[in-house]
Amino acid sequence: MFVQIPDLLSADELRQAQQRLEQADWVDGGLTAGGQAQQVKNNQQLDGRGTQAPVGKALQSMVLAAAQRHPLFFSAALPKRVLPPMFNRYAGSTNAYGDHVDQAIRYPTDGERMRTDLSATLFLADPADYDGGELVIEDSPGPRRIKLPAGHLLLYPGDRVHRVEPVTRGARLASFFWVESLVRGHDQRRLLFELDRNLMRLRERHGDSPETIGLTGTYHNLLRLWAET
Ligand code: NI
């Protein structure tokens, strides 16, 4: 399931994030990739260490808070755990990330493990300011090529081969992170998302009724059946 979440960041937050990232120090993105991914990764990442640590922390908090307050993010991801967001930059000679699959398990801190059920990319640069840089994700019947307005988030299944096309003008800035979901199976999560969205629409149109209350019960009972807390 691919879900676009428009305006995850407010216009003010987006401006702040862009300003901070323009002044930030960047390091080789290959440092945080493993195995096959490392060989095809040619971008830069925000340096989260030393004097740069407060900048990274402030930006992480901003993105996490924005995701947590957005009802569509909760409904689509059913997050159990969200890995602290990271930030990357594609420009100049470090401008692409070839085909790869993200690691299934990440280590938020020493001794902790989480499964990457969903990948998230928050686009932070105005698409008019750069050429290329599409996120291309394997799908049936063919790959999806995605480039969203600044401040918009894409949630996609963590198990797909994907790449970022070379940026040929300007700079592509983004935040990326992974979500371990309460509901591991993509099919079950999608059914819950569709049920939840349609229930919201029903309620908007007709208010509550015995039927919406009954279906809300079905939603929660399916979640009870499938969720691992
Ligand atoms: Ni990736």
> What is the distance in A from the centroid of ligand 1 to the CA of 163?
7
pLDDT at 55: 87
Contact (CB, 8 A) for 164 and 89: no
**92: helix, coil or strand?**
coil
Q: How far is the CA of 215 from the centre of ligand 1 (A)?
A: 37
| Residues 6 or more apart whose Cβ sits within 8 Å of residue 103 | 34, 37, 116
Q: How many angstroms is it from 227 CA to the middle of ligand 1? A: 26
| Ligand 1 center from residue 101 Cα (angstroms) | 6
Average pLDDT value over all residues in the chain: 95
CA of 216 to the centre of ligand 1 (A): 35
| 19-43 tens-digit pLDDT | 999 988 899 998 777 778 888 999 9
Interval between CA 25 and ligand 1 midpoint (Å): 21
Report all structural domains of the chain as residue ranges with CATH numbers, in order of start: 3-181 (2.60.120.620), 186-226 (4.10.860)
